C-alpha cells in the first residue's frame, strides 16, 4: 500500500542573513523556485524615522538610500533591482497583469509604478513583484501548477472592496482550463490586538462581512481574519494559507514599520514574490 502523501509545508520562517531579517517560505523556494518573502525594518541604511530597511520611495526618505536598501534585499535572492515591478497602491480593488513590457516599472523612482492598482499578477520568470506596507495586510498568492504569483495590498479599504478576491480571480483567469492549486501567504500587519476603529467603520464592516464574532473584538477589527475568509471564498483551501506568527507591526514596532505606532511618518517593509527558476522535482516531491 502506498503511504499517504503528507501535505507540503510551506510555512514562513524568520531568517536573518547579513543583518537583514525577513520571512520566507523556504520549501517553496527550494522545491518550486518561487520566492515569497516579507521584509522587516531590520538591516539597511536608512536613518530615522525610516530606520532602517525602508524600501518605499513615497514616504520622504532619501531615494538613494531606498535604492541601496532595495539592492541589499535583491542581492539576498539573486534579483536585479532594476527589474522590480511596483503598484501605485491607492487603496483600490484593481489588479494588473504584469508582462515583460512592465519590467522595471517603479523600480528606480516613484513615478514609474503601475497606476491605479493595488495588486499585481504575473506568470513570467524573473519579474519580481514588490508592494510596500506599514500596517496594511500584505498577501501573496501562488498558483503552483501554472506557476503564477500575485502580491496584494490589503488595507481596510482594499479588503472592503475585495482586492483579494479580485486578485485571485485574475490568477485563475490565466489558467482557466485547470483547477488552480492556490497557496496564500499573509505577512506582517497590524493585528486585532492594535487595530482599533471607530463605531462607523465597525458598523460598515459588519454590514459587509458575516461572522463578526470571528473578526470584531470590541472596537478592534482583525483584518487578517477577514483576509483569510476572503482567501477561502476565493478558492484557497484553508490549510494552504500560511501566516507569519507574532508579527503585529504595531506591537513589534522595533522589527516592523507601523504607520500607527510610528505616528504616521515611517518607512515601509516589502512583500515580494518572484518566479526564479524551474521547479526542483526532487525537492518538490520530498513532501
244 is an interface residue for Zn ion by CB under 5 A = no
CB of 258 vs Zn ion, minimal distance in Å: 9
Stretch of residues binding Zn ion (CB under 5 A), selected from 62-70, 106-114, 197-205, 242-250: 242-250
188 is an interface residue for Zn ion by CB under 5 A = no
Exactly one of 29, 148, 244, 248 binds Zn ion (CB under 5 A); that residue is: 248
Stretch of residues binding Zn ion (CB under 5 A), selected from 41-49, 52-60, 188-196, 222-230: 188-196
- What Rg, from alpha-carbon coordinates, does the chain have? 18
CB of 196 vs Zn ion, minimal distance in Å: 10
110 is an interface residue for Zn ion by CB under 5 A = no
17 is an interface residue for Zn ion by CB under 5 A = no
Distance CA 96, CA 200 (A): 31
Distance CA 77, CA 273 (A): 11
Residue 140's nearest CA partner among 256, 230, 54, 37 is 37
CB of 193 vs Zn ion, minimal distance in Å: 3
Contact assessment for residue 222 and residue 195, using Cβ atoms and an 8 Å cutoff: yes
Residue pointed to by grid coordinates 454590514: 207
Number of residues that bind Zn ion (CB under 5 A): 6
238 is an interface residue for Zn ion by CB under 5 A = no
CB of 190 vs Zn ion, minimal distance in Å: 7
197 is an interface residue for Zn ion by CB under 5 A = no
201 is an interface residue for Zn ion by CB under 5 A = no
Rounded to an integer, what is the distance from CA 224 to the centroid of its chain?
12
CB of 6 vs Zn ion, minimal distance in Å: 33
Residue closer to Zn ion (CB basis): 34 or 216: 216
Residue closer to Zn ion (CB basis): 42 or 194: 194
Residue closer to Zn ion (CB basis): 165 or 191: 191
Residue pointed to by grid coordinates 496584494: 152
219 is an interface residue for Zn ion by CB under 5 A = no
Name the site residues for Zn ion (rule: CB under 5 A).
191, 193-194, 248, 250-251
Amino acid at each position: 500500500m502506498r503511504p499517504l502523501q503528507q501535505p507540503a509545508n510551506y510555512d514562513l520562517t524568520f531568517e536573518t542573513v547579513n543583518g537583514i531579517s525577513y520571512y520566507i517560505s523556504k520549501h517553496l523556494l527550494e522545491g518550486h523556485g518561487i520566492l515569497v518573502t516579507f521584509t522587516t525594518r531590520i538591516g539597511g541604511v536608512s536613518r530615522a524615522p525610516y530606520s532602517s530597511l525602508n524600501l518605499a520611495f513615497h514616504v520622504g526618505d532619501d531615494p538613494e538610500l531606498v535604492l541601496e536598501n532595495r539592492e541589499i534585499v535583491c542581492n539576498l535572492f539573486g534579483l536585479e533591482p532594476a527589474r522590480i515591478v511596483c503598484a501605485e497602491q491607492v487603496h483600490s480593488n484593481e489588479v494588473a497583469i504584469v508582462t515583460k513590457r512592465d519590467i522595471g516599472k517603479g523600480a528606480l523612482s516613484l513615478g514609474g509604478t503601475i497606476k491605479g492598482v493595488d495588486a499585481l499578477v504575473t506568470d513570467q520568470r524573473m519579474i519580481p513583484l514588490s508592494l510596500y506596507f506599514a500596517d496594511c495586510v500584505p498577501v501573496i498568492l501562488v498558483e503552483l501548477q501554472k506557476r503564477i504569483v500575485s502580491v496584494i495590498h490589503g488595507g481596510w479599504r482594499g479588503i472592503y472592496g475585495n482586492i483579494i478576491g479580485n486578485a485571485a480571480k485574475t490568477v485563475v483567469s490565466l489558467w482557466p482550463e485547470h483547477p488552480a492549486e492556490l497557496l496564500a501567504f499573509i505577512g506582517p500587519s497590524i493585528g486585532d490586538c492594535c487595530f482599533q476603529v471607530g463605531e462607523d467603520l465597525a458598523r460598515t464592516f459588519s454590514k459587509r462581512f458575516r461572522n463578526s464574532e470571528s473578526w470584531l473584538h470590541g472596537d478592534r477589527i482583525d483584518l487578517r481574519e477577514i483576509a483569510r475568509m476572503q482567501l477561502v471564498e476565493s478558492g484557497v483551501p484553508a490549510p494552504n494559507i500560511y501566516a507569519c506568527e507574532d508579527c503585529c507591526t504595531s506591537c513589534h514596532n522595533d522589527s516592523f514599520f507601523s504607520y500607527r505606532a510610528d505616528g504616521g511618518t515611517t518607512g515601509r517593509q516589502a512583500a515580494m514574490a518572484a518566479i526564479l527558476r524551474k521547479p526542483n522535482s526532487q525537492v518538490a516531491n520530498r513532501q
